[in-house]
């Protein structure tokens, strides 16, 4: 049996213990145990809720470079059949955060042993999938004290082959918002619908109406997506449902489009309230700022990547993906890029199985870029 690299082994360990946002207790302990095995001379370690900050002191610092990874999993039942599948029933690292963490540890390991001129800050951020950890972590006293001058992050991309990265200047990921709509009517016997107020019927009408917003209320040259991913209502087949709940997401490429979409949702829900004589409530849950790559830093990064022989750079288009790293980029110049992992199944799929060969290649690439940037840039 061929041996695997230590960071692939770490990824498999982390893959077994996916935890939801702000519940990453085992994950935090695993990360801390590993970090404490590194040379400590230049490290300062601080925890924040279930997250971790690690500062690597430079030899002659002029600035601080931040590197952020997310650490949480998703409430998805894994179907990969891998020998290192999730041991936490109903949870899975289906968005690649196990890959992200192992890469971050690999880069941290290198710089703990090979310090550069500039200070580095490694940020192990909880709750990216929800309710959102980037904004409160950014606002924490620790990060306001250790505030990087620039910050970078990556996200795995199943559609790209191993050995490729993809990014662009400016807008990379969309503005996103969760969407929860509750309807309350009057339950009753299925034989007497005229004495009840059926919220399943109201919910179905609302879902159909919501789909008209993008087609008829958003500028065709802009982009928006409204997805209702879950509908729940009723208790049994012969009882008219008193309550129904719609759960979904909104994604837009512009702030103005997000505002317009929400205005139209609120108008339609109010219409349902009147037409179906029911009570309604809207909750937008977690809202993520767009990921906007700093043009100058990203152009410089692209130039570096194009000269790096072991990695192919793809200039991609913006995506409707949501990422709370956008909050950090709104305050700190930096960028995010896609890392190709060549999986036939996409993000948030129960069978997502990234190619682990991407881990060591990403570590080598990032250590090269950060070394160059931290010694020269």
Query: Are 239 and 197 contacting, i.e. CB atoms less than 8 angstroms apart?
Result: no
- Is 155 a known ligand-binding residue? yes
Largest CA distance in the chain: 79
Query: 243-254, pLDDT tens digit by residue?
Result: 999 999 999 999
> Which CATH number is 175-287's, of 3.30.70.360, 3.40.50.150, 1.10.150.120, 3.40.50.700?
3.30.70.360
d(CA 135, CA 149): 17
- Is residue 1 over pLDDT 60? no
d(CA 241, CA 190): 9
| Inter-CA distances, 351 with 12, 82, 101, 126, Å | 15, 10, 20, 23
pLDDT at residue number 3: 85
Q: Provide the token pair at 299.
A: 């152009």
- Is 204 a known ligand-binding residue? no
Q: What is the mean pLDDT of residues 300-311?
A: 97
Q: What is the mean pLDDT of residues 217-242?
A: 96
- Is 36 a known ligand-binding residue? no
pLDDT at residue number 2: 60
- Is 348 a known ligand-binding residue? yes
Which positions are catalytic? 70, 129
326 or 376: whose pLDDT is higher? 326
Query: 257-296, pLDDT tens digit by residue?
Result: 999 999 999 999 999 999 999 999 999 998 899 999 999 9
What residue spans define the domains of the chain? 6-173+290-374, 175-287
Q: Provide the token pair at 242.
A: 């008193």
Q: What is the mean pLDDT of residues 107-135?
A: 97
Q: What is the mean pLDDT of residues 117-132?
A: 96
Query: 13-54, pLDDT tens digit by residue?
Result: 999 999 999 999 999 999 999 999 999 999 999 999 999 999
- Is 97 a known ligand-binding residue? yes
| CATH code for the domain defined by 6-173+290-374 | 3.40.630.10
d(CA 69, CA 152): 9
What separation, in Å, do the N-terminal and C-terminal C-alpha atoms of the chain show?
A: 43
pLDDT at residue number 286: 86
């Amino acid at each position: 049996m061929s041996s695997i690299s230590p960071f692939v082994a770490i990824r498999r360990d982390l893959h077994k213990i996916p935890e939801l946002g702000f519940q990453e207790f085992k994950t935090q302990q695993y990360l801390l145990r590993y970090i404490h095995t590194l040379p400590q001379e230049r490290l300062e370690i601080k925890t924040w809720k279930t997250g971790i900050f690690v500062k690597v002191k430079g030899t002659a610092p002029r600035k601080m470079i931040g590197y952020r990874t997310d650490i949480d999993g998703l409430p998805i039942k894994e179907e990969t059949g891998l020998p290192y599948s999730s041991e936490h029933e109903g949870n899975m690292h289906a968005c690649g955060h196990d890959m992200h963490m192992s890469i971050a540890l690999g880069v941290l390991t290198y710089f703990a042993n090979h310090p550069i001129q500039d200070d580095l800050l490694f940020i192990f951020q909880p709750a990216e999938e929800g309710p959102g950890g980037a904004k409160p972590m950014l606002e924490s006293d620790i990060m306001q004290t250790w505030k990087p001058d620039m910050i970078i992050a990556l996200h795995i991309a199943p559609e790209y082959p191993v050995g490729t990265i993809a990014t662009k200047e400016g807008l990379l990921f969309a503005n996103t918002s969760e969407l929860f709509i509750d309807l309350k009517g009057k339950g009753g016997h299925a034989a007497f619908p005229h004495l009840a107020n059926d919220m399943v019927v109201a919910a179905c009408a609302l879902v159909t109406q919501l789909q008209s917003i993008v087609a008829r209320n958003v500028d065709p040259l802009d982009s928006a997506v409204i997805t209702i991913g879950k509908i729940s209502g009723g208790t049994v087949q012969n009882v008219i449902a008193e309550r129904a709940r719609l759960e979904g997401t909104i994604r837009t490429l512009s702030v103005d489009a997000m505002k317009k979409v929400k205005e139209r949702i609120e108008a339609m829900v109010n219409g349902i309230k009147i037409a179906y004589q029911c009570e309604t409530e809207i909750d937008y849950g977690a809202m993520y700022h767009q990921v906007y790559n700093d043009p100058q830093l990203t152009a410089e990064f692209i130039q570096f990547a194009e000269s790096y022989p072991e990695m192919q750079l793809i200039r991609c288009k913006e995506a409707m993906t949501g990422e709370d790293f956008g909050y950090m980029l709104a305050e700190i110049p930096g960028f995010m890029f896609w890392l190709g992992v060549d999986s036939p199944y996409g993000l948030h799929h129960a069978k997502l199985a990234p190619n682990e060969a991407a881990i060591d290649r990403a570590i080598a690439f990032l250590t090269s870029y950060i070394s160059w940037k931290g010694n020269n840039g």
